[in-house]
Structure 1
Amino acid sequence: MTAETTVSRWRDQALAPLLLAYHLRTEAEKGVAVSAVGDLPPRYRAEVLDPRAAFAADAVWVAETGGTAVGCVVASASDDGSLEVKRLWVDPAGRGRGTAKALVGAVLGHAADTGAASVRLSVWQWRQDAVGLYERLGFVRVDSWDDRPGLVCMTRPTTNS
């Protein structure tokens, strides 16, 4: 029997290791293998070293299974009145159990509660499993708002919950 996964507002000590894993994996996928927080670009290093300051204006959730943090997500307000999903991460050992769906669900619920008309996100094109998840959750591809090559931008109205 597997332990139940819960999603709740974050605790500092649970978030930093998840963000570090996210950034190390992302940098490796971009072809810039780094092995420690000190090797990350300054913006990402700041998130890991002081998540409370980095995400002071954002809503953040952590997923836990059996008391262990296994995933996280950040929702940031965008200038267009939408919420933007950032830093969605589930530990590879815990994937395939609905954790990412639950974390996105927390953002969608928060968007509805705060009156945001839509939720948007960008995802690296090589993360096909993530793109598929977002499409199953009602997100659609849109023209990019980010000039970095390799990003897929997606959005969905809040009312599709």
Structure 2
Amino acid sequence: MPQQTESRAERDALVVEPMSTPEHARAFKEMNEEWVRTLFSIEAADSKILDHPERIVADGGQVLIARAGAEILGCGALIAMGDGVFEVSKMAVPPQYRGRGIGRVVLEALVAHARAIGATSLYLESNRKLANAVHLYESIGFVHVQPHAPSPYARADVFMSYDLS
């Protein structure tokens, strides 16, 4: 039981905010590169996003950073796809903080932000190896769908959507 109390306190102390500093951008890149390299390999589509996350914002999306104090504990992005559809992308939590509900807090913040900006639906691509992530998406209402278009990621074998209307 103490683990749950600790996790709840950690979640309550989390602040989720838009990426606003070079440190945020660096953490976004490093956290995502860690999980991609551990399970897969960095692809051109990864580098395009991770090397220039400010482009996500410039194109109408958002990068959110989760932190407790000055320590960055997670991140995620909404990438504008057009016609009110946003891709949930590049969610990451460092290994030492996984299993504490931080990913759920980030995902819920992404959904709330998407609603606030008038998005009509969310889309994501994942992989069966990321079973905990896929379960998290399912638990808040994402459903499995066919891919919207050919994926830029060789590793993508799970495609999901979430209707915001």
TM-score by length of 2: 0.78
Counterparts of residues 1-161 of structure 1 (less than 5 Å): 3=10, 4-11=13-20, 12-30=22-40, 32=41, 41=43, 43-53=45-55, 55-57=57-59, 58-145=61-148, 146-147=150-151, 148=154, 150-159=156-165
Cα displacement (A) at 1:151: 2.1
Q: 1:122 to 1:43 in 2, by over 3 A?
A: closer
Query: Aligned-pair distance for 1:46?
Result: 5.0
- Structure 2 unmatched ranges of 5 or more: 1-5
Q: For the structure 1 residues 55 and 44, does the alpha-carbon distance in structure 2 shift closer, same or farther, using more than 3 Å as the test?
A: farther
Cα deviation digits, residues 60-97 of structure 1 (max 9, x gap):
11000232011111101113421110101111111222
Matched residues, number: 151
Paired position in structure 1 for 2:3? none
Q: How far is 1:53 from its partner?
A: 3.9
Indicate if the aligned counterparts of 1:62 and 1:71 stay in contact, CA closer than 8 A.
Answer: yes
Moved over 6 A (4+): none
Partner secondary structure for residue 25 of structure 1: helix
| Residue equivalent to 1:36 | none
1:142 Cα offset (Å): 0.6
Determine what percentage of the aligned residue pairs are the same residue.
25
The CA RMSD measured in Å over matched residues stands at 2.3
